[in-house]
Structure 1
Amino acid sequence: MNVRFTCLLIWTMLTNAALPGFAGEPPQEYFNWRELPVLPAPGGVGGAFAGVSNGALIVAGGTSFAAGEAPWTGATKNWYDKIYVLEQPGGAWKEAGRLPRPLGYGVSATWRDAVVCIGGNGPSEHYADAFLLRYVDGKMQTEALPPMPAPNANAAGALIGDVIYIAGGQETPSAASANVFWSLDLSQPADKRSWTTLPSWPGPPRTQCVAGTINGEFYLFSGANIRSTGKDLLKDAYKYTPGSGWTKLSDLPQPTIAAPSPAFATGQSHLLVFGGDDGTNAARNNELKDAHPGFSPQIWAYNIITDTWSVTGKFPVTRAGDPAADPDSSSWAPVTTPAVVWNGSLVLPSGEARPAVRTPKVWMATPDRPTGAFRLMDWMVVGLYFLLVIGISVYVSRKMGSTTNDFFLGGGKIPWWAAGLSIFGSKLSALTFIAIPAKAFATDWVYLLNNLLIVAVAPIVVYFYLPYFRKLKLTSVYEYLEIRFSPAVKILGSLTFVLFQVSRLGIVIYLPALVLSAVTGIDIIVCIVATALITTAYSVSGGIEAVIWTEVMQVAVLLGGAFLSLVFIVNSLDGGVTQLVTEATEHGKFRLAILSWDAAEPVLWVVFIGGFLTQLVTYSSDQVVVQRYLTTSTEKEARQSIYTNAVLVIPASLIFFSVGTALWVFFRHHPTELNPHGNTDDVFPWFISQELPAGLSGLVIAGLFAATMSTISSSMNSIATVITTDFYQKFIPASTDRQRFVFARRATLVLGVIGCAIAIYLVSLHNTSIWDQYLKIIGLFGGCLAGMFLAGIFFPRINAFGAITGFVVSAVCLYFVQSATRINFFLYPAIAVLICVVTGYLASFLPWGDKAKTV
């Protein structure tokens, strides 16, 4: 089977030599556009305030010229104070009140249940006023805020949490552009609110610029620098990090003067700027008049990870009728209008369509993520993978005996190298397959040390833990806790493992199914059911032996797919490996350690201690791992299996981290091909679906299936082992081995159904926040569980009462550490183990505890 698979893979790669290097140009439209009811203000307004209050869209104030009038005819602007409300996208606008005065060209933003309105100007002067608008029970309420340090209009602003930042603008109608940068914390009580003057950006003053926020940082793009001697159109960009200051970013490809602000934050790493005046006709307004072609329709995407700009679509501009006589018959890319997020969609209410011409149209853009294009060759490769899985399970099931020893431990006849590959495969989940490249893409190689520390942990497991587990002839690792302490300690350990693994089972099925659905275009429910069904089938029929041998094949598939992806990415770069290494090095993408003493950050000592304890937790107390090195025939082979896994982690980690860094270099040079709506964790699957050639894409997706199924099968078999050994056999001691074997198979089947059901339930939730919190609490006990094993092996004085007390106290303490401190999560296992052992040791001196037992 391996020979045939290899031949097909080679044939796939050869046949693709004549195919295009990429899967095809990615879609250029990432939004579904629709028109909302037109604003009832005659002809529309420019420079209005807008936001959302209690679910309703608010548009207030602004300016316009009378029909047929313009600055070149000597006309002046009309200023408005009316407030319009649209309660539902399909509803009707209604007038709901008035502003304190006719006003426009200020900064507005949505904060909690209110619209923040700051600054702006009227017919003759600029204002420093600031206030909140709230729409409550069909009426508009106004709440005053502290005035700005100086009058200001045509500025840009955006919120980071409860703090609004204001940048640039003009103090008076005739003033030069300002370089002011202020902030106001809206969460403070009304009498405590005050403006803070912050250091300005390291560039020229500006007005009509675009602000934006993402990941707790403030961004400032483009603008115009108005001086007494002229006007400069700017393309520069800056980032402000609270507490750290300003950073210069890559320039925009063209100016985006007066574009809708703030920029639309989408996905986890993109800010989108919609159109704006690029300056092409800036000096010809009076000459072109009604023949002006309008402003730029380009949608510019800035990626905060690669520091690059790209065009990610266009505003749906249409030309119809006579623009001068009937301007509303066409659609134009608006400027001087706020960008409002309403129910997850972007709204551009009214605005300036052309110089001196407003539009009453209100546009809504809903983010739309296209699916990947899976082709026939990809399906052939994935189909072959599933045939291999089924073939292995059928072969193993035919020769498997009907005993629990065969079902749980493979009869103790698994070769050391297969057990080692299985250990590796069981810990490399689909989440890891996706997350490691994403982490390296977004940051650097600081987390690599965490993976490599298994090399340091392996000898400790081999010389201190393994002899105990082999000598006692364990099936469930938690049997050791009963032998060393008491039945109650074993039940506590077993129950903790089962609860965590069952909860994790649904997540492990659900999250990769999201990716597979996006890449292949298959309905997510079908992905969940198919993955769970096939994995459950071979886990039930072949037991641990089928699990291990499929994992051996799966490791080859997933590592092969990742390595070939790396080769493809490198070959797609003009400079190949040299370009990859040079650019990544220049930008610090290969950084291996952060030298600091800050326990809240993944600094060197934190990653070392936390990584060491994390690996010790996994390889000393996790049934999924321990069960595999109990399937070999001798202790020597068990040692070899542990070392095989440890050695394999090194090249595997290097491959996955290299893939992430290579993706960073690739998308730095091809920013247009990166999905603006994607999360950081989507970067590798997106590349797979959009860039890899047919066949290779299928192989990598087969690797994703392999990682998913390996984790699922490992969890199901290990849970069934623990349930049967530690609970069924305990509470039904008269049961025969045959009855336990049948029960284990049925338990595996039920676990598959439960995992599938949980995953489908998560689909109905449309998010995983509830489960994330649940797993966060259950996950507290992993380090505590390892602490009991460490206490049992290295501290003979600790008794059963001390072990239970240490477990409970460490779990409670760790919960408060997570909730109330900034300590990095890498240190959680170390904290849990330390508290468990120290508390257990001290509690063992109490008079009501049992005497400690030795093994």
Structure 2
Amino acid sequence: MKKLLLYITLCLTCALHSTANDTTKPYLQWTQLAAIPDRVGLAGSYAGVSNGALLVAGGSNFGKEGTPWNGGVKTWYNKIYVLNQPNGQWKEAGVLPHPMAYGVSCTWQNGVVIAGGSDATKHYSDVLLLRYQNGKVETENLPSLPAPIANACGVIIGSRLYIAGGIKEPTATQAATNFWMLDLAQPQRGWTTLEPWPGVGRMLAVAGTQEGAFYLLSGVALTRQSGDSVVHRTFLKDAYKYMPGKGWNRIADLPQSVAAAPSPAFTTGQTHMLVFGGDNGKYFEQNASLQQKHPGFSNEVWMYNSITDSWSTIGNIFTDKKADAESNPLASTWAPVTTTAVVWNGNLVLPGGEVRPGTRTNRVLMAAPVQPPGGFRILDWTIVGIYFLLVIAISVIVSRNMQRTTSGFFLGGGKIPWWAAGLSIFGSKLSALTFIAIPAKAYATDWVYLLNNVMIVVVAPIVVYFYLPYFRKLKLTSVYEYLNIRFNRQVKWLGSLTFVLFQVSRLGIVIYLPALVLSAVTGIDIFICIIGTSVITTAYSVSGGIEAVVWTEVMQVGVLLGGALATLFFIAGSMHGGFGQLFTEAMQHDKFRLAITDWTITEPVLWVVFVGGFLTQLVTYSSDQVVVQRYLTTSTEQEAKKSIYTNAILVIPASLIFFSVGTALWVFYKHHPAALNPHGRTDDVFPWYISNQLPSGLAGLVIAGLFAATMSTISSSMNSIATVITTDFYQSVKPASSDKQRFVFARRTTVLLGGLGCLIAIYMVYLRNASIWDQYIKIIGLFGGCLAGMFVAGIFFPRVNSRGIFIGFVVSAISLYFIQAAGIINFFLYPAAAVLICVLVAYVASMLLPGKKAITTV
């Protein structure tokens, strides 16, 4: 015991002297590709990717002399160079129609779109599509720009090419405010002139895109006073965001100008853009006097977070300046400007560019995004280990006392206390996805979704007074047995099969996504996370049945709520103003908004969330076996009522905790934007904070909470699926089977379900694309509302018969699929639409197609 106390004391001492953010994390790994085959190098080149190859076309330099200070004359080029693979060599593959540079270029589908540009005498309005195939580049003409333009910026969003700013002629004394758009999927329609941004005209700006929005960053404004022959440059720091259909908004200014930085900005993760270097204007007025002594342009990498609207630096562009950098600049590596930023195989490429006034480079830099590993310490592992020991201990104790019957395995012999059943209901519905997603939603938006959670308070009395008496009076094991009693066996099988398909599909998702997060946070291989979680959860679910599931969930609820609450206090404690600062800043930015007062049907406005939340909770608490099964584990109906109300009351403080954590994360990262992973997803924000900001020990507690949320959902699903399969299918197929045979079958089914969920999760790792599975789950999930419609019709509409309800279910499911595809209503209203269509169609069909008397045998 003394050794254990000494060990814990040492761990705590280490925790006080170390945090997860004590080292600078490398987010980019820089390398160099083969140099462009031009001895001097090129600036203003067009660049992009076509059929997997990197293209660099056109550009300009000052000839063999190298700089204007040495008598160099600016020359434009039309050669097109191609690099087939990162470790390959450049080769010529064609020419442009004429020498030109300083236009806009973007990769689109299998080609490179180039627009505008200039040469020594004029600017161009040409728009071309370059395609590399069969060893050469082919050129296709696209609709010309509304006017000649050079030094503009642009980016493609979907199929739409946006171009902003620039100058219309070489002798321009003012930069343009033009903002044009061309839908490349329908180029015959031509260019559309859009509303300009609410700022001055500019050239050499940086374009960017994030979540469908167009960003215009920094640039240079031109001015010439009356009687003055010199055109003056003003280096800008302002930035703007354009959302189609909503117009322009000004966003946070950059800390310094990034004029002529590689464009477009590098979009990474779900909420970040990176801008590389640029000219801050510090030495612009001294260019003529500095000449070769010019130190070069900024090498800082700037990061913008679109959620917190904040800028920070996260590193530097790779540079390597030799001792002879002034006299022999080509031997050194500099941060370039006036070059196109190209995304190639997920990496950022900066081909050539200008490295100091008048000096070009032929070097090609490539930056690969790096996901920093998570850091878990000894004390964290100790706490997680203690959590797993508690889970195993509960399982062992319960399994010794469990009745070896189906009643004991499925219902715990009806001896679960009401408070434990209530905590179990709460734990079963709070999955690891919720543990992660609710703080992420509050971080990214506000508290509008809170109403959806607390609608259980309204639904609970309805479930208690209308549904619970039916379920208890009929002494059900599977809630879908009610459909057999009310309608017939075929309807029961339809309901049971829908539930099983949904839960089995969900099982893989619930195992995979938290394992993905746990792997990133702890540094453990994702396969170990998946297999370990699956094995331990399956073991206690099999050995102790529903009783082990319930009692482990009671402990798990305490762990996950305790971890979240501790995190909230730690975030507040890390801010100078504590909770007061968190509350004040969140209020100033409307982060506590509870409702959107509008009457639209496609957005989460107040009435949509109210109606949708009500029906969502009704669906869950009236037709989901995972929840209803808990009602039946208590000894009396009165106890079951208490369990329902216990869960309903617990949802309120729990929701407040998780939404508060999300809001606190927003305030924290508003002040510490550089501490956030630029390559991460929005849903990663809470786990990322856990891994990088919480001290050792507390991080272990919160990760244990994440394990708890994961395991409670997995165990609940497995036990409920096994219950439905055994009761509704096995017992129907083998009515003469003994209770012992059904008990053995249920345990074996649970083992198979654990293995199946594990295999699905592993398959998703290799698939590396959860979107397919998300879509599949969304489609299957549509049936949940239809399933609830069957219970609503059965309980409240006596004239609905088995034929009618079967037709109502099918029509409702098909209708809801097309409603979802059309996007005509907000997803909150899917349950409302499903229930309404199911009940109405079932009622009408029952009137038109009278059925036989309902079968009343189970």
TM-score (normalised: structure 2): 0.97
How far is the alpha carbon of 1:226 from its aligned partner? 1.5
Which ranges of 4 or more aligned residues in structure 1 deviate by more than 6 Å?
7-14
Pair 1:47-2:49 in alignment: no
Query: Residue by residue, what CA displacement relative to the aligned partner does 1:7-50 show, whole Å, maximum 9, x if unpaired?
Result: 99998997578435x42235342012221111112222100001
Q: Does residue 212 of structure 1 match 2:208?
A: yes
Determine the structure 2 residue equivalent to 1:758: 760
Aligned Cα root-mean-square deviation (Å):
1.8
Structure 1 position 577, deviation (Å): 1.2
Check the 8 A contact 1:50/1:109 in 2, yes or no. Answer: yes
Deviation digits for residues 195-214 of structure 1, max 9, x if unmatched? Answer: 22222111121111101011
Verify the 8 A CA contact 1:799 1:853 in the aligned structure 2: no
Provide the residue aligned with 1:180 in structure 2: 177
Match of 2:90 in 1: 93
Aligned to 2:78: 81
Letter in structure 2 aligned against 1:206:
R
- Please tell me whether residue 103 in structure 1 is matched to residue 100 in structure 2: yes
What is the aligned partner in structure 2 of residue 832 from structure 1? 834
Deviation of 1:160 after TM superposition, in Å, equals 1.5
Shift of 1:308: 0.4
Which runs of structure 2 are paired with 1:162-311 in the superposition (5 Å)? 162-190=159-187, 192-229=188-225, 230-311=232-313
Identify if the C-alpha distance between structure 1 residues 52 and 657 changes in structure 2 by more than 3 Å, giving closer, same or farther. Answer: same
Q: Which residue of 2 aligns with 1:813?
A: 815
Corresponding residue of 2:725 = 723
Name the count of aligned residue pairs.
849
Deviates more, 1:139-148 or 1:759-768: 139-148
Contact (CA 8 Å) 1:59, 1:85: kept in 2 or not?
yes
How far the C-alpha of 1:701 sits from its partner, in A, is 0.2
User: Corresponding residue for 2:672?
Assistant: 670
SS of structure 2 residue aligned to 1:845:
helix
- Secondary structure of the 1:522 match is coil
One-letter identity of the residue aligned with 1:345: N
Alignment pair present for 1:27 and 2:29? no
SS in 1 for 2:848: coil
Amino acid at match of 2:426: F
1:237 is displaced (CA, Å) by 0.7
Alpha-carbon deviation of 1:847? 3.6
The CA distance in 1 between the partners of 2:328 and 2:393, in whole Å, is 70
Q: How far apart, in 2, do the equivalents of 1:302 and 1:708 lie?
A: 33
1:651 — aligned with what? 653
Partner secondary structure for residue 220 of structure 1: strand
**2:303 and 2:14 mapped to 1: Cα distance?**
32
Q: 1:246 to 1:796 in 2, by over 3 A?
A: same
Aligned to 1:614: 616
Residue 624 of structure 1 is matched in structure 2 by 626
Q: 1:835-850 to 2 correspondence within 5 Å?
A: 835-847=837-849, 849-850=851-852
Describe how 1:437-516 pairs up with structure 2 within 5 A. 437-516=439-518
- Of 111, 114, 119 in structure 2, the residue corresponding to residue 114 of structure 1 is 111
What is the identity, as a one-letter code, of the residue corresponding to 1:719?
A: I
- The DSSP-based 3-state class of the residue aligned with 2:362 is coil
Q: Which residue of 1 aligns with 2:599?
A: 597
CA shift digits 1:40-96 (9 cap, x unpaired):
122221000011112111110000122443222342211100011112112221111
Separation of aligned partners in 1, 2:432 and 2:347 = 31
Residue 331 of structure 1: SS of its match in structure 2?
A: coil
Structure 2 CA distance, aligned partners of 1:188 and 1:780?
A: 32
Distance 1:822 1:265 in 2: 30
Which amino acid is the alignment partner of residue 115 of structure 2?
I
Which residue in the other structure is 1:561 paired with? 563
- Give ranges in structure 1 of 5+ residues lacking alignment: none
1:187 offset after TM fit, Å? 3.5
Name which of structure 1's ranges 321-330 and 430-439 shifts more when overlaid on structure 2. 321-330
Look up the equivalent residue of 2:614 and give its one-letter code: F
Q: Please say if residues 16 and 693 of structure 1, whose CA atoms lie closer than 8 Å, have aligned partners that are also in contact.
A: no
Cα offsets for 1:153-176 (capped at 9, x unmatched): 001111121111111111111213
How far is 1:328 from its partner? 3.0
* Structure 1 letter corresponding to 2:17: L
Identity of matched residues, %:
67
8 Å contact from structure 1 (residues 482, 489) kept in 2: yes
Provide the residue aligned with 2:229 in structure 1: none
Letter in 1 for 2:566: L
Tell me the residue number matched to 1:158. 155
Q: Secondary structure at the match of 1:446?
A: coil
Contact 2:40 2:64 in 1 (8 A): yes
Q: Is the 8 A contact 1:260 1:338 kept in 2?
A: yes
CA distance in 2, matches of 1:97, 1:678: 39
Output the CA distance in 1 between the equivalents of 2:86 and 2:185.
33
Distance 2:399 2:178 in 1: 70
- Please, what TM-score do these two structures have when normalized by structure 1? 0.97
Contact preservation (8 Å) 2:180, 2:192: yes
Task: Write the letter of the residue equivalent to 1:213.
Answer: T
Q: State the partner residue of 1:519.
A: 521
Distance 1:427 1:69 in 2: 68
Q: Distance in 2 between matches of 1:215 and 1:845?
A: 49
Moved more, 345-354 or 546-555: 345-354
User: Distance in 2 between the 1:663 and 1:44 partners?
Assistant: 46
The aligned residue for residue 352 of structure 1 is 354
**Taking structure 1 as reference, are residues 500 and 9 closer, same or farther at Cα in structure 2, changes over 3 Å only?**
farther
Partner of 1:552: 554
Tell me the CA shift for residue 321 of structure 1.
Answer: 4.4
1:88/1:645 Cα in 2 relative to 1: closer, same or farther (>3 Å)? same
Deviates more, 1:529-538 or 1:572-581: 572-581
Picking from 128, 132, 138, the partner of 2:129 is 132
Shift of 1:662: 0.3
| 1:373 equivalent in structure 2 | 375
* 1:755-806 Cα distance to aligned partner (Å, 9 max, x none): 0000000000111122122212211110000000111000000011111100
Distance 2:158 2:824 in 1: 19
| Aligned with 2:583 (options 554, 564, 581) | 581
Structure 2: state its 5+ residue gaps.
226-231
CA deviations on 1:212-256 (whole Å, 9 max, x unpaired) are 011111111111111114211111111111111111111111111
Cα pair 1:27 1:370 within 8 Å, conserved = no
Residues 379-418 of structure 1: matches in 2 within 5 Å? Answer: 379-418=381-420
- Asked if the contact 2:804–2:845 (Cα under 8 Å) also holds between the matched residues in 1, the reply is yes
Q: Kindly indicate whether residue 66 of structure 2 is the aligned counterpart of residue 69 of structure 1.
A: yes
